[in-house]
Amino acid sequence: METIIIILAGVLVSVATYLVLSKNLIRVILGTSIFSHAAHLLIMTMGGLKEGSSPLLGEEAATYTDALPQALILTAIVISFGVTSFFLVIAYRAYQETNTDNLDILRGIKDE
Amino acid sequence: MNNILVFPMVLPLITGVILIFLRPFIKLQRWVTFGVMAVNTGISLYILQKIQKDGILRLDFGGWEPPFGILFVGDSFSLLLVLTASIVTAIILLYAFHSLDAAREKMYFYPLVNFLVAGVIGSFLTGDLFNLFVFFEVMLLSSYALVSLGGSKMQLKHGIIYMTINVVSSWMFLIAIAYLYGTVGTLNLAHISQRIAESGQTPILTVISILFLIVFSLKAGLVLYQWLPGSYSAPPAVIGALFGALLTKVGIYALYRMFTLVFYHEPAITHTLIGIMAGVTLIGGSIGAIAYNDIRRVITYNVVIAVGFILVGLAVLTPAAVEGAVIYLVHDIIIKALLFLTGGTMIYLTGTARIENMSGLIRNYPMLGWIFFITMLSLAGVPPLSGFLGKVLVGQGAAETGSYLLLALAFLSSLAVLYSLLRIFLNAFWGETIISEEDEIPLKKGRLVPLVVFTLGTIALGLGVESIAVYASDAANVLLNPDIYIDAVMNDN
């Protein structure tokens, strides 16, 4: 199972890299969002997928699953949600100001 | 329990939240924010004294003892930076009161500054790797907002570049954390260090350490500084000063922490790499600083040079060099704020950022001219001023270990700094006065006072460097002996 998830994370990273390298600003933002999904999957796999019972004292099992990665992912999801939404706002504002979402044209704007 | 340790981070955070609801009351926002920074200064000074007496302090949140819970750790290095950051932010705010336009002040400038400072101070104090990531994000989110606050085309363009770079590097930070967690199974910095010391720094750990090196280099502007000049010069001078003084320093702090506390077993690989990167940064920064005629560009490339210089201290890693780097870090926070504000004032007074369009300002604004002159000497490291001792100690460390190439680059870069600023000085302040007395924009006291305070600060820090050398040598001692840090965190006290 771990192997499959790792491969999935790899596929997501390659998709995200492709998107981030494109010229369209919205695609770049989607790419960064997919990047973060890949990272979350990786964190989960690195902590070990379900190995024992849930980490509660009532469950009297021999082994427990590590709960920490899920806490980390939860935090990371919230952060990436905030960052992505702010990024979208900035992109929209830039579109309003410059009438383009093409990074080549944005790049050509002179620094006054 | 040392609950006081959390205050420097939590005060600005709570104030920031409250100020969002007090949007119409600009005056109140100003002085509350200034008051918070002043209180922070007092608190961090108190904690710094306490550390000298009681050793490293720690605060376990919710009573979860390490390695299980998240914790704050305060040692001399952290607190020295917290103290400097609080003072410098307070003085930068004084400049903001008189220079920032009403529209920006109304658009939550002060809450954003509070959040930025909370993120910066949290990053300095935390003892947990994931917590460090969270504070980085707090700091970065407010900096994204500050870069684009005002929404001019130039700001938006550089805001987008800045955000993309930082989002990708934060992603790499997460990946590196995931790999490290998978390898050593903990995220408490002291515990990671302990486990790595037990198992030895295996090749996979060295690879992870290089991933961290890339992440923090992106944040600090080490080699990967190409985003920096644009995004630091696009926003108004006040915001540029905050960024130049604080943001790159957090990256530098993280590099110092990671590569002295955790990944210090393979200096032949990691620290050599840091040395090469520092050298390249020094060369690249110097070329940039000399190449441009735009004041803002010259100033931002000076930030890059300083990053390279401070990391020479980490690359050679001798007691003298690390102590020098700590002193230089404190000096650099102050002097970069002063440099950005002076440059901003010149642009405001002349209405242009290009030095060929300025001339003879010394007749119009003699005080500003002298302030710029002192800034220049201090940055170049001329003896009575604050840049001197740090440079000497870092140089001494580099000479002790025989890293003569780094030594040469570090001091040649000082010449580049001097040349780049001297060029501004000669072009803008000397020569024929082209602004007649009627056209002269008055230099108000509100703008001049913060500059004078910073100038006096750099002179005072230079003359009284002995007073912070005690803390700096304690900081260097903890950095070079990770056991002190581990002992303070992992053992009950």
Of A90, A89, A19, the closest CA to residue B231 belongs to A90
pTM metric for this prediction: 0.95
Which class does domain A2-107 fall in? Answer: mainly alpha
Nearest CB to B163; choose among A42, A90, A106 = A90
Chain B nearest CA to A35, separation (Å): 7
Listed by start position, the domains of chain A span 2-107
**Mode of pairing for the β-strands spanning B71-74 and B57-60:** antiparallel
Stated length of chain A: 112
The tokens of B367 are what? 């005080």
- Per-residue model confidence (pLDDT) at position A53: 80
- Is residue A111 predicted with pLDDT exceeding 80? no
- Per-residue model confidence (pLDDT) at position B88: 96
Residues 6 or more apart in contact with residue B330 via CB below 8 angstroms: B80, B81, B84, B461, B468, B472
- Per-residue model confidence (pLDDT) at position B217: 94
Chain A nearest CA to B463, separation (Å): 40
Chain A nearest CA to B169, separation (Å): 10
Which residues in chain A are contacts of B178 at CB distance < 8 A?
A: 39, 42-43, 46
pLDDT tens readout for residues B387-407: 899 999 999 999 999 899 999
Q: Do A72 and B141 touch (CB under 8 A)?
A: no
Given a contact cutoff of 8 angstroms between Cβ atoms, the answer to whether B265 and B200 are in contact is yes
- Per-residue model confidence (pLDDT) at position B339: 95
Chain A nearest CA to B448, separation (Å): 26
Given a contact cutoff of 8 angstroms between Cβ atoms, the answer to whether B178 and A9 are in contact is no
Nearest CB to B159; choose among A35, A46, A90 = A90
Pick out chain B residues at pLDDT < 70: 1, 492-493
- What residue in A sits closest to B150 (Cα-Cα)? A93
Residues 6 or more apart in contact with residue B164 via CB below 8 angstroms: A20, A28, A32
SS3 A59: coil
- Per-residue model confidence (pLDDT) at position A51: 74
Best of A78, A90, A98 to substitute, by most chain B Cβ atoms within 10 angstroms, is A90
- What residue in A sits closest to B233 (Cα-Cα)? A111
Q: Do A98 and B153 touch (CB under 8 A)?
A: yes
| CB pairs A-B closer than 8 Å | 96
A72-80 average pLDDT score: 94
Nearest CB to B141; choose among A75, A86, A107 = A86
CA-based end-to-end distance of chain A: 54
- Per-residue model confidence (pLDDT) at position B57: 92
d(CA B40, CA B33): 11
Q: Do A86 and B167 touch (CB under 8 A)?
A: no
**Cα–chain-centroid distance for residue A68?**
18
Which residues in chain A are contacts of B145 at CB distance < 8 A?
A: 86
Quickly count: other Cβ atoms within 10 Å of residue B153's Cβ.
Answer: 16
Percentage of chain A beyond pLDDT 90 is 60
Chain A: residues touching B (Cβ < 8 Å): 20, 25, 28, 32, 35-36, 39-40, 42-43, 45-47, 68-69, 72, 75-76, 79, 82-83, 86-87, 90-91, 93-94, 97-98, 103, 106-107, 109, 111-112
Which residues in chain B are contacts of A72 at CB distance < 8 A?
A: 130, 177, 181
Chain A nearest CA to B450, separation (Å): 27
SS3 B73: strand
Q: Alpha carbon of B96 to those of B292, B450, B478: distances in Å? A: 27, 10, 37
The tokens of B85 are what? 């950051």
The tokens of B383 are what? 């003896």
Q: Do A94 and B171 touch (CB under 8 A)?
A: no
Given a contact cutoff of 8 angstroms between Cβ atoms, the answer to whether B115 and B242 are in contact is no
Give the domain range for residue B157.
3-490
Chain A nearest CA to B330, separation (Å): 30
d(CA B95, CA B108): 17
d(CA B404, CA B411): 11
Confidence of residue A66 (pLDDT cuts 50, 70, 90): confident
Work out the mean pLDDT of chain B and round it to a whole number. Answer: 93
> Would you call B439 exposed, middle or buried from its count of C-beta atoms within 10 A (0-12, 13-18, 19+)?
exposed
Of B112, B271, B254, the closest CA to residue B206 belongs to B271
- Per-residue model confidence (pLDDT) at position B315: 94
Q: Do B160 and A106 touch (CB under 8 A)?
A: yes
What DSSP character marks residue B262? I
Residue for token pair 């981070």: B9
Nearest CB to A46; choose among B154, B159, B182 = B182
- Per-residue model confidence (pLDDT) at position B288: 94
Best of A46, A78, A84, A86 to substitute, by most chain B Cβ atoms within 10 angstroms, is A46
Best of B174, B191, B226, B228 to substitute, by most chain A Cβ atoms within 10 angstroms, is B174
Chain A nearest CA to B37, separation (Å): 26
Chain B nearest CA to A96, separation (Å): 10
- Per-residue model confidence (pLDDT) at position B492: 66
Which residues in chain B are contacts of A105 at CB distance < 8 A?
A: none
- What residue in B sits closest to A87 (Cα-Cα)? B163
Best of B140, B142, B153 to substitute, by most chain A Cβ atoms within 10 angstroms, is B153
Cα-Cα-Cα-Cα dihedral sign, residues B16, B17, B18, B19: positive
Which residues in chain B are contacts of A94 at CB distance < 8 A?
A: 156-157, 159-160
Given a contact cutoff of 8 angstroms between Cβ atoms, the answer to whether B29 and B39 are in contact is no
- What residue in B sits closest to A102 (Cα-Cα)? B157
The H or E element spanning position B193 is helix B189-199
Structural domain total, chain B? 1
Q: Do A35 and B160 touch (CB under 8 A)?
A: no
- Per-residue model confidence (pLDDT) at position A112: 64
Quickly count: other Cβ atoms within 10 Å of residue B464's Cβ.
Answer: 11
The H or E element spanning position B476 is helix B465-480
